[in-house]
Chain A
Amino acid sequence: MQISLVWKQYDVLVVGSGGAGSNAAETASEMGASVLVVAKDPLSASDTKISEGIATVRASGSEDDTEDTLSENLQLAGGDLPDANITSAFARDSQTAYDKVRANGLRPKISAITKNPDPLPLPMGGHTKRRSIGHKNSGVAFGHANWNSIVKDAKIDYKEDCWLVDIITENNKDHSKSIIGALIYDAQRGELLAVVCASIVVASGGLSTIYFPKTDTMRGNTGDSYAIAARAGAELVDMEQIQFLPFCLTSPPAFEGLLGGEPVTASYLGVLRDKNKKVILDGVYLRTRAECSAAIMKAVEDGRGTKNGGAYLDMTANKRAPKSGVYFMNFLKGSLPSAYNNVRQAMSKSEAQCEDLWEVRPSAHYMMGGIRVDENCSSIGGSKGLKNDGILGLFAAGQAMGGLFGANRLGSTSLTEGAVFGQRAGKNAANHARNISGMNPLNKKLFMEKAKKINSLIGQKGHLHASRIKLSVQRKCWENLGPIRDEARLNKTKLFISKTRKKLKNVKISNSTKWNQGLIEYLELENMIDTAELMAIAALERKGSLGGHVRADCRNISLFSKPYSTIVRFVNNGVNVTRLPRKQTEFKKLIKFKFEEQKKFLGAKILRLMPMILKDRVLEKRYKKIMNIQKASITVQPGSVEAAFGDRKIL
């Protein structure tokens, strides 16, 4: 059987209907472009929809929160890997981008005093200002706004259940490449769509599904964004930098990998212990996620891991404190309600009450690297000073893009990232399409060749199943490309990938054209393999631990050494990797940052070792301080503990 080919023409094709995709589509449409949105999942069912729903909005907490301040926070957190133009753009647009989401129905709590959206009472980790705004119903509230933005005007065409097979480019006279369209498998209708367009916005999310365990991120995160862009010839940046959330659940199976807590919710006295109950990390609430993950995985490697290959998160000291213990529980429940909900359902009562230790293990969560773009979300390439050899007409936004977060992502930034860069990508994609005259009709054959390739897969005979191979990829990536890496493991990954690639021709695919699950699994498996290969090569290039990339066989890369990003791209017979020098933050600022950090750790240690009576008093004051700030900005049911803590995320 053959899948029929259907031709479509648009100015802009947006891949993905989550935070970045919906913002891109709306903006491009407002600019007058004809827009088609395609997505594998139902409209706006994305990582944005299932997120904690906290967004960074500059200057929402205080007027002295300048663009430079926010941009610097991102730079320092990212180990100087972020592109300064991109972090500046983020800082510049965060308010307007957020208001555009609000115009579609996102309704934050408005402060009675400032008459503006009210940020959480304390700055989130790594932010030096209060600027993180929480929302009722978490990410689902964003999901509705994004849904509305695509549906509301009837100007944007959209198709669910569509798998993008490949982007199609043509070669220009100066050896650069231009987008001419994409081939898409529409599983719902059982058709292949040949979409002819000058601009494509890749906003199809991250890659956490190449791992198991992963967090509650969407199943569809099979690295599609990176694989399709790289196959089209685009460069990717910082592909070794993936964020693992350290405190995820280990059992029961239905909850495996789901979020239990974050470093901050371990609160002032939380520590990590190995299976012998020995402390392996203290001051947990001040640590980065990568530090926590590394501590857990190192214990596991030394044979000191718990039954399910993790460590114990011990928050019992917080709970035991006679006065502050009550505040702690409210703090824990209120700061990450969805995570605490997981804990309540999955763990025993005494564990959920923090009277017992939590068994935790890291899970894959967020990709900080991605498609190399400039601040206009336009694909770029080449080293500084040389000709830009990015792909003309290729744009990326949201988790698909790289260059904003570098080695570490600050909390609450990703929803804003989707809005800011979705809108930028949409605008620039529409502008680009306006200046392009139609495709050379001879290039129709490029689409037909791809379609022929897909049709040759239909009914492929074989003894293997892509769905099962995917599971082995997930396990191997976790072991060898996961939260702890070394050269031997990474070389194993490379070998595993080349072996798995050879298996593809023996994958069985049925004859059906409509929703052919075998074909879908095959396409996703291919993307997972391509992405894992690019990541492994980038991870081999960075011979030292930095941010989300932990190398057990090398030392930490110092904040004071010369920063560089890794750049990978597919070449004829493999992957090419280079280093891109990045600008270092001023020495003075780095010293100050280091000093402050050390001071905090020392403070945390002293606090932990204080006698209980003293400790309890200090903590009660601290929790009360958080509460008092909140009271000032709350108008409903004043005085009730529920109003102050219950529904709100504190950090």
Chain B
Amino acid sequence: MTKKETRARKYLNVTIVTHLEGKDMPVNFKYKKRHDREKPMALDVLLQAQETKLPELAFRYGCRARNCGVCTIDINGLPRIACRSVVRENDKLKAMSTLPVITDLVVRRDQISRQLRGKIYRNSGGNDLNVDASEDYHELTSCIECYACLHNCPMHEKNSIDPSESNERYEYGNPFSLLKLQTIVMDPVSSNSQKSDAITQAVNLGLDTCLNCPGCKCGIGIDLKGKVVNPLISALKKIADE
């Protein structure tokens, strides 16, 4: 084995793009493998970088088990859940491109949830709770809110990514917000008015954008096109026909 090959088995070269006050700064980082065959996850790389070369590196993470949905970053330009994404030689780790970066790999997220403030589960109460929900309902509530679905979403792209100080919520929606609204439509406990309200909200967020869109991609494999977008569009068409 050549010297180079031996080194390759011990180290992994990655680029971590740090960010401070509006400026990106790529840093080359040599990840030291803990054993020859280790295939480190992106989060392992970030943690080791923080322990060694970049002690003040900022990134989000939570459960390390793909449940909490907060550690999403871009790897080579595509959104990935850092705790369960294997890193390869020369990979580039960077903050998600679809949300405003605060520092390093940390993005601001709450302008997404704010667009649904006051628009979901209003007046819920008094309904019979003892009704079984369908499999589709449960598929929707498996969403971990990782926001990988914002990538290449033409509806989300209509927003200016950096929200202004006065406007803390995005005007246009995204697959996640539509999923939350479709959850209400699928919820057996929702009243008819709550359901049609949810569809109206989806329209207000820019559902028409979805008509010409090939579909969205979920970070954990929910069928967003089939279970969220198409049902909302056909519900809308049904209302329009009536």
Contact = CB atoms under 8 A, between A and B. Distances in A.
Contacts of A218: 62-63, 68
Nearest to A109: B132
A103 B125 contact: yes
B187 A107 contact: yes
B138 A136 contact: yes
A611 interface: no
B102 interface: yes
Nearest to A157: B117
A95 to B, nearest CB: 11
B183 interface: yes
A41 B70 contact: yes
B116 A151 contact: yes
A279 interface: no
A257 to B, nearest CB: 8
A255 to B, nearest CB: 8
B118 A154 contact: yes
Given A147-B113, A465-B56, A517-B56, A140 B129 contact: no
B209 interface: no
A385 interface: no
B65 A50 contact: yes
B202 interface: no
Contacts of B41: 254
Contact of B62 (A50, A102, A342, A468): A50
Secondary structure class of chain A's binding surface, majority of residues? loop
A92 to B, nearest CB: 19
Interface string B57-89: 110111111011110000000000001100000
A311 to B, nearest CB: 21
Given A188-B102, A216-B65, A467-B51, A107 B121 contact: no
A43 B120 CA distance: 15
A439 interface: no
B56 A116 contact: no
A144 interface: yes
A532 interface: no
A46 B68 CA distance: 7
Given A137-B142, A512-B103, A105 B121 contact: yes
A468 B51 contact: yes
Contacts of B69: 42, 45
Contacts of A137: 138, 141-142
Given A110-B130, A110-B132, A467-B56, A253 B38 contact: yes
Interface string B121-134: 11011010111110
Contact of A342 (B65, B122, B187): B65
A152 interface: yes
Given A117-B130, A254-B83, A517 B62 contact: no
A516 B57 CA distance: 10
A161 B113 CA distance: 14
A254 B44 CA distance: 7
A261 to B, nearest CB: 15
B67 A216 contact: yes
Nearest to A159: B110
Interface residues of A, number: 63
A471 B106 CA distance: 21
A45 B68 CA distance: 6
Given A41-B62, A140-B144, A219-B61, A514 B21 contact: yes
A404 interface: no
B143 interface: yes
Nearest to A190: B102
A446 B41 CA distance: 45
Contacts of A574: none
Nearest to B220: A140
Contacts of B65: 50, 216, 258, 338, 342
A515 B58 contact: yes
Contacts of A153: 118, 122
A439 to B, nearest CB: 27
A465 B61 CA distance: 19
Contacts of B7: none
A143 B69 CA distance: 11
Contacts of A471: 51
A468 B50 CA distance: 8
Nearest to B84: A254
A465 B20 CA distance: 18
Contacts of B188: 107
B221 interface: no
A553 interface: no
User: Which of A188, A254, A514 has most chain B Cβ within 10 Å?
Assistant: A254
B156 to A, nearest CB: 17
User: Which of B40, B63, B124, B130 has most chain A Cβ within 10 Å?
Assistant: B63
Contacts of B171: none
B67 A139 contact: yes
A134 B142 CA distance: 14
5 closest pairs, A vs B, by CB? A154-B118, A465-B55, A107-B133, A515-B103, A517-B58
20 contacts: A41-B68, A103-B121, A105-B183, A107-B133, A107-B187, A109-B132, A110-B131, A136-B138, A139-B67, A140-B67, A144-B143, A144-B183, A151-B117, A160-B110, A217-B63, A219-B61, A253-B44, A467-B51, A515-B104, A518-B55
